[in-house]
Structure 1
């Protein structure tokens, strides 16, 4: 079923493939996902102010971000971006997210994180250089696609051998739901209005993360108005040629992934701790030792 959203299960294709949504132990060297697989990694960012600042650094410099290139693999541009945030906590989250992305992609591609080069695909709307991000590959292996998202308290990285988008959002407030519901598709607004008041925050969160994951996979982001595409409970009305799935992201967040083509055979979710100065190789998050398998019916 669409994970975390049982009401959509009856609308799934009769022969929909099983999905392995077991929180798995993180290996030191990830293996590239197979043709029908999707890998999703969740990372908890450091608490605001918990990332050590470089002593003696001037505010607004790359060193003041609390990360250095040898430790994190971040580029000079990424370090400057992390240092540019008005709130230190926001810069820490940005740096942690991009360091995690580099660590993971470096592991998949067999390259050092600092040696990765990122580019932007052409925008499908205007052909400008601000479409989906991509990593430059130096081998003849199939293209490895990825997507990165972060919200308060959680970072998500999705990797697949086909175009992919991921989004994660902290559960919205009641006021946010009321203010943003007008941006939904007409049918989505009707579905949201039919949900009991106590369930609307979670329901809206699932709608919105599906929508953002899909728009990121398209390469348009929110430059394409959210109300154009339907990502509600009725799977038959969702965009053709795309599979959009909810992800288990804990009690405080909703998350979704969108992939180009048929529903994936397997979606594997792993939890990875943030990497900081002096850390060794990635280790699994002990808080997610239990397993849960969910499959469409």
Structure 2
């Protein structure tokens, strides 16, 4: 009996960098609560990033759901780790749909992704100096710490951010988020695409496909999807890197179109 071929999984991805103050046309599609939060940021560019990211999420989803951006209602499921409702997996409460989405921000940079019928997680981080000893011991596995130690010093910061964003994308997709022990999520940073085992109570998926996303030279970003569903495979997803953002945001234009694959970091000599 022949195996049924799996279709490529379609994923919408939008990313950008915001500056100045929240744009009026972005604010217009946000809820009053979202508008208030955008103005609570001390740095205007971060408030603008929040507004544009959420407005872009609404506009992208509205096009798929045949709705108006301002009418979409979001919610959250309880965390599968602590069962509190504040930081579980995000949901689209209205219109009813099988689409799922994930959103991430880092300073003025932001990243949004959505797909139909599968869990999804993304994370973006600005490249900046971090205390690798302190953070590494808190979030990296022993294998990952050994990998970083074998790299040239100039490569270690980016390698750490690759590990970090991959882990964050996976735990967002699984729904456990900040409750996860990131040291137990092996990110395989030497590989451009990795299949990572991460099991969470109540989550139907324990095997995740995670890859880098091209978001320019200032950031590192990752996308996580179930490694395989009944009808689709995440081995080679069909990623739609649209640039139809607007709202006064700067698209990460050096990220479009994406390369055929991300360049792996070097593997240290034994």
- What's 1:56 paired with? none
After the TM superposition, which residues 1-297 of structure 1 pair with which residues of structure 2 at under 5 Å, given as runs? 36-45=9-18, 47=19, 50-51=20-21, 67=24, 72-130=28-86, 131-138=88-95, 143-161=98-116, 162-173=118-129, 175-183=130-138, 184-233=140-189, 235=194, 238-239=197-198, 240-262=206-228, 263-264=233-234, 265-272=236-243, 274-276=245-247, 292-294=259-261
Write the distance in 1 (CA, Å) between the matches of 2:258 and 2:50. Answer: 29
**235-244 vs 115-124, which moves further:** 235-244
Report the CA distance between 1:150 and its aligned residue.
1.4
CA contact (8 A) 2:207 2:227 kept: yes
The answer to whether the 8 Å contact 2:74/2:90 transfers is yes
Larger Rg: 1
Aligned partner of residue 114 in structure 1, secondary structure: helix
- In structure 2, relative to structure 1, the CA distance for the partners of 1:284 and 1:167 (3 Å cut) is closer
Q: CA deviation at 1:295?
A: 8.6
What is the distance in 2 between the residues matched to 1:270 and 1:237? 24
Q: 8 Å contact 2:46–2:107 — kept in the other structure?
A: no
Q: CA RMSD in A?
A: 3.1
Structure 1 counterpart of 2:202: none
- TM-score for both structures, normalised by structure 1: 0.71
The answer to which structure, 1 or 2, has the higher relative contact order (CA under 8 A, 6+ apart) is 1
CA displacement 1:98-127 (0-9 Å, x = unmatched): 111111111111111110111111211122
Contact map agreement 2:111 2:122 (CA 8 A) in 1:
yes
Deviations 1:206-234, CA, capped at 9 Å, x for gaps: 11100110111121222212212211247
Residue 182 of structure 2: SS of its match in structure 1? coil
Give unpaired runs (5+ residues) of structure 2: 199-205, 264-270
| Count of matched residue pairs | 241
Q: Contact 1:43–1:273 (CA<8 Å) still a contact in 2?
A: no
Give the match's secondary structure for 1:127: coil
In the aligned structure 1, how far is the partner of 2:210 from the partner of 2:83?
25
Q: Is the 8 A contact 2:13 2:112 kept in 1?
A: yes
Q: Give the Å deviation of 1:294.
A: 2.8
Partners in 1 of 2:213 and 2:253 — Cα distance?
19
Q: 1:291 to 1:98 in 2, by over 3 A?
A: closer
**TM-score with structure 2 length normalisation?**
0.78
